[in-house]
Amino acid sequence: DLMLGFLVVNHLHKGSSHKKEKAIVKELRALCKEHTEHRVHMFYGQPGLLIVQSSPTSFSEIQKFLKKIAGKPATLTKTKTIREKVQDNGSSEKFVEYPGLGGGGCDKDAIRRIKDQYGIKKTLDVILGLNEKRGGMIRGLEKKK
Q: Are 139 and 10 in contact (CB under 8 A)?
A: yes
Element (H, E) at 24: helix 19-34
CA distance 117 to 89: 9
pLDDT at 87: 53
pLDDT at 129: 79
pLDDT at 130: 74
Beta bridge partners of 125: none
Q: Which residues, given as ranges, of the chain have pLDDT below 50?
A: 88-90, 132-145
pLDDT at 131: 61
